[in-house]
């Protein structure tokens, strides 16, 4: 069977689920961040696949903007993690649950 | 089975295997390396689908800039496998089950989707001449707004990351 959009749907769904699992499994804030990047990339892959299938360039521009937003997000998020590390000397998200109290 | 299919399956295997390595390895530095490999294989998929510009941007922005930033922060904090916090077995199992259930539900939903063959004829969609024309004709406003977003993200990162005990030593901000 030649490769079609269903293959790319399954692949990006698998990558997205792996990202969800990592987000739920790990306690290190930086690893959770990396899993979010993985999920964003799986969505990018699917957008490019449909852009190719429909011969439409708009989806690739959306991928471009997703990359822009991800870069801005990483800059601010890592700054927050570094600040948190400076205060509590840990990147464990279980330390951060004092926001509850 | 053509060269396209062989490359697709090989790149998919690398992507999924390295994505599993990201969430399973104890050492955060190894996680970053696996994620870089995942991004490279996704870039390979982009090249396979004639999205050359996005492939290059993916390598430069993700594998280059963002992952180096992650690596820099991890090495700044001196994280390794010994100080890596671990969740309990039960919570990890619950995470795997929830992710797996999500996977199964979405799989059942898209299983019957009409497959569209990847059109091998249109090869000039992902070229920078075409993308630049679309970007500066239809997406000028989002493009300009994203520059404002970048500026605010930069200012935000500087403000958040600044040492807060300034004023003790004058001009030490």
| B166 near A CB under 8 A | no
Q: What is the mean pLDDT of residues A9-20?
A: 94
Higher pLDDT, A48 or B161: A48
Q: What is the pLDDT of residues A56-93, one digit of tens each?
A: 889 999 999 999 999 999 999 999 888 888 888 888 88
Q: Is the pLDDT of residue B84 over 50?
A: yes
Please tell me the predicted confidence (pLDDT) of residue B173. 46
Q: What is the mean pLDDT of residues A40-56?
A: 91
| B119 near A CB under 8 A | yes
CA distance B170 to chain A (A): 21
Q: What is the CATH number for A43? A: 1.10.287.3510
What Å distances lie between residue A8 and A51, A90, B9, B24, B152, CA to CA?
12, 38, 11, 24, 35
The range of the structural domain enclosing residue A65 comes to 5-100
Nearest residue of chain A to residue B56 (CA atoms):
A64
CA distance A77 to chain B (A): 8
Confidence grade of residue B2 (pLDDT, cut at 50, 70, 90): confident
Q: Which two tokens stand for residue A60?
A: 């690739």
**Mutant choice from B11, B21, B49, B133 vs A, greatest count of A C-beta within 10 A:** B49
Q: What is the DSSP letter of B33?
A: H
Summary mean pLDDT of chain A: 89
Q: Is the pLDDT of residue A46 over 90?
A: yes
Residue A64 to residue B153, Cβ atoms within 8 A? no
Nearest residue of chain B to residue A74 (CA atoms):
B66
User: Range with the lowest mean pLDDT among A10-19, A33-42, B60-69, B117-126?
Assistant: B117-126
Q: What is the pLDDT of residues B88-146, one digit of tens each?
A: 788 889 999 999 999 999 999 988 888 887 766 677 788 888 889 989 999 999 999 99
Q: What is the mean pLDDT of residues A35-47?
A: 94
Please tell me the predicted confidence (pLDDT) of residue B168. 52
| B10 near A CB under 8 A | no
The predicted model scores a pTM of: 0.89
Partner-chain residue, chosen from A30, A58, A75, that has the shortest CB–CB distance to B134: A58
Predicted-complex ipTM score:
0.91
Query: What is the domain count for chain A?
Result: 1
Please tell me the predicted confidence (pLDDT) of residue A55. 84
Q: Which residues contact B152 (CB under 8 A, 6 or more apart)?
A: A72
Assign A4 to helix, strand or coil. Answer: strand
Q: Is the pLDDT of residue B81 over 80?
A: no
Exposed (0-12), middle (13-18) or buried (19+): which is B78, by Cβ within 10 Å? exposed
């Amino acid at each position: 069977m030649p490769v079609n959009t269903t293959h790319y749907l399954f692949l990006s769904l698998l990558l997205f689920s792996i990202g969800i699992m990592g987000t739920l499994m790990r306690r290190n804030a930086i690893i959770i961040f990396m899993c979010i990047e993985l999920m964003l990339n799986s969505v990018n892959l699917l957008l490019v696949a449909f852009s190719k299938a429909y011969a439409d360039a708009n989806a690739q521009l959306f991928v471009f903007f997703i990359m822009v937003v991800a870069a801005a997000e990483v800059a601010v998020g890592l700054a927050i993690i570094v600040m948190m590390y400076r205060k509590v000397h840990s990147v464990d998200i279980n330390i951060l649950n004092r926001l509850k109290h | 089975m053509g060269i396209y299919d062989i490359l697709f399956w090989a790149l998919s295997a690398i992507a999924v295997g390295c994505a599993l390595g990201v969430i399973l390895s104890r050492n955060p530095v190894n996680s970053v390396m696996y994620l870089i490999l995942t991004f490279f294989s996704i870039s390979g998929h982009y090249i396979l689908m004639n999205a050359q510009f996005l492939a290059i941007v993916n390598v430069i922005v993700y594998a280059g800039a963002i992952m180096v930033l992650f690596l820099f922060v991890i090495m700044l904090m001196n994280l390794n496998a010994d100080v890596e916090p671990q969740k309990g077995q039960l919570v990890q199992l619950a995470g795997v089950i929830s992710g797996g259930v999500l996977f199964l539900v979405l799989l059942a939903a898209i299983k019957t989707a009409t497959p569209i063959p990847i059109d091998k004829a249109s090869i000039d969609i992902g070229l920078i001449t075409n993308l630049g024309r679309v970007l500066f004709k239809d997406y000028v406003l989002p493009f300009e707004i994203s520059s404002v977003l970048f500026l605010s993200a930069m200012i935000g990162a500087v403000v958040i990351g600044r040492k807060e005990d300034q004023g003790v030593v004058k001009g030490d901000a």
